[in-house]
Structure formats: structure tokens, C-alpha cells
């Protein structure tokens, strides 16, 4: 069997296998290598104009995870999963993001200010056109891309995952001291291994049919 065929089957299998895990086995830990790969998938996520206006906070402290669980309306996976990652958006986009993006690009691609003038104009224009509320929503929207990437990467590795927005953002920000770091929480993802007792593991997947969500304009 050709490698590409095996790859196609693995992707489909992994995506069908994944579900929003509810009950994690607290004794099973994700390896350092797998965690690193999942985080790398987030880091490599695309973003609008390459702003990468995000931070992925791996919360390892068990007491803090218990506090977060409370802020997450008691969702047990917040404390019981092997790992918990909070995805935050940057709140200092207007001040810092364009400069950082230019510096990063100059360094990675050995380009000077003149060569990056067009990019700078696009960044500054794009940011200036948005009011504060739109800017915040824009940054939050970007963080869902690495969230999605992590669900895929984890599932390909056979690591169960649970994306979450069901928590009180202000409380989570306070627990993690995010405001002082120019950050605001958007979502979380729990990673680990499903418990045998998770009743959701065996439920049939609920999805709209392909024909309903995909439309070809020919």
C-alpha cells in the first residue's frame, strides 16, 4: 500500500476517533515528546497577516488547575486530564504586534526595513482600521486556528483532547495573572487519555451531512 494512502486513512481514522473527551483517566500522562509536538502544531498555525497574537499557557500546577476547574463551572477534565493548555490572545496589538512581526521577519528572512515596508504598511493599516472591540475579536478569532491544529495533531498521535470555552474568562485571567502580561484567555484544551467510563466515547458522531456543509460553485 502506498504511503499516501496509509496517510489518508490515518487522518480520517484519527478525526473519526476524536471526540470532545469528557472523562479523562487521571493516571495516564501524555509524553513530553507528544506534548511538544502538539504545542509545535499550535506554534506553526497560520494567522492573519502572521500576527501570532497569542500565547499557549501549559498549566502544570495542580492547585491552579483546581482553581481553573472552578472557573470552568466544575468541568472535571480541567483538573483530571494529563495536560491543560490555556489559549490566550494578546491585548497589546495596537502597541506592539506590527513591530514584532517586522522584527521577526527581518531576522528569519534577513530582510531590511526597506524590503519590509510593504508588510509594515499592511500591518499598520490593517490594525489602524479596526476599533478596539474589533481588534480584540480579531485576535480571539486567530487563537481558534492553533486550537484546531492541536485537536488534529493530538488525535493523529492518539491523544484525546477536549477544547473548551465554558469558563469565566475574567476569573481565569485573574487566576493566571494574564492582564499584567497583556493577555486575555480565549479557550482551553485538555489533553490526555479517555477514561473507560466516559459515556461520550461510544456515542455516534453528530455532524451535518457533507452535502449540507460543502457547496461547490461550478
Ligand X SMILES: Cc1cc2nc3c(=O)[nH]c(=O)nc-3n(C[C@H](O)[C@H](O)[C@H](O)COP(=O)(O)O)c2cc1C
Residues near ligand X (CB under 6 A) are 19-20, 75, 163-166, 187, 205
Give the Å distances, CA to CA, from 124 to 99, 117, 118, 173.
Answer: 9, 10, 10, 28
**What is the smallest separation between the CB atom of 79 and ligand X, expressed in angstroms?**
14
**What is the smallest separation between the CB atom of 145 and ligand X, expressed in angstroms?**
11
Angle at 20 (CA atoms; ends 15, 10), nearest 5 degrees: 15
C-beta nearest to ligand X: residue: 166
Using the minimum distance from each CB to ligand X, give the nearer residue, 122 or 141: 141
Using the minimum distance from each CB to ligand X, give the nearer residue, 102 or 167: 167
Gap between the Cα atoms of 175 and 189, Å rounded: 17
Using the minimum distance from each CB to ligand X, give the nearer residue, 98 or 150: 150
**What is the smallest separation between the CB atom of 126 and ligand X, expressed in angstroms?**
24
Rg (CA), the chain: 19
**What is the smallest separation between the CB atom of 20 and ligand X, expressed in angstroms?**
4
Q: Which helix (H) or strand (E) holds 84?
A: strand 83-90
Q: Which residues of 100-119 are buried (b: 16+ CB within 10 A; e: fewer)?
A: bbbeebeeeeeeeeeebeeb
Gap between the Cα atoms of 116 and 21, Å rounded: 44
Gap between the Cα atoms of 74 and 66, Å rounded: 9
**What is the smallest separation between the CB atom of 200 and ligand X, expressed in angstroms?**
7
Using the minimum distance from each CB to ligand X, give the nearer residue, 56 or 123: 56
Using the minimum distance from each CB to ligand X, give the nearer residue, 3 or 205: 205
Amino acid at each position: 500500500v502506498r504511503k499516501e494512502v496509509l496517510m489518508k486513512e490515518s487522518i480520517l481514522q484519527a478525526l473519526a476517533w476524536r471526540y470532545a473527551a469528557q472523562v479523562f483517566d487521571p493516571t495516564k500522562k501524555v509524553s513530553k515528546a507528544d506534548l511538544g509536538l502538539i504545542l509545535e502544531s499550535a506554534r506553526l498555525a497560520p494567522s492573519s497577516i502572521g500576527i501570532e497574537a497569542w500565547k499557549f499557557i501549559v498549566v502544570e500546577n495542580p492547585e491552579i488547575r483546581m482553581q481553573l476547574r472552578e472557573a470552568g463551572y466544575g468541568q472535571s477534565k480541567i483538573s483530571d486530564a494529563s495536560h491543560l493548555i490555556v489559549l490566550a490572545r494578546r491585548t497589546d496589538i495596537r502597541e506592539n504586534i506590527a513591530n514584532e512581526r517586522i522584527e521577526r521577519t527581518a531576522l528569519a528572512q534577513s530582510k531590511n526595513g526597506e524590503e519590509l515596508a510593504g508588510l509594515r504598511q499592511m500591518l499598520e493599516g490593517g490594525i489602524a482600521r479596526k476599533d478596539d472591540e474589533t481588534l480584540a475579536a480579531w485576535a480571539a478569532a486567530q487563537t481558534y486556528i492553533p486550537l484546531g491544529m492541536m485537536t488534529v495533531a493530538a488525535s493523529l498521535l492518539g491523544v484525546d483532547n477536549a477544547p473548551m470555552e465554558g469558563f469565566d474568562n475574567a476569573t481565569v485571567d485573574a487566576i493566571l495573572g494574564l492582564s499584567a502580561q497583556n493577555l486575555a484567555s480565549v479557550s482551553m484544551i485538555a489533553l490526555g487519555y479517555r477514561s473507560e467510563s466516559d459515556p461520550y466515547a461510544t456515542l455516534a458522531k453528530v455532524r451535518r451531512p457533507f452535502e449540507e456543509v460543502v457547496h461547490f460553485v461550478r
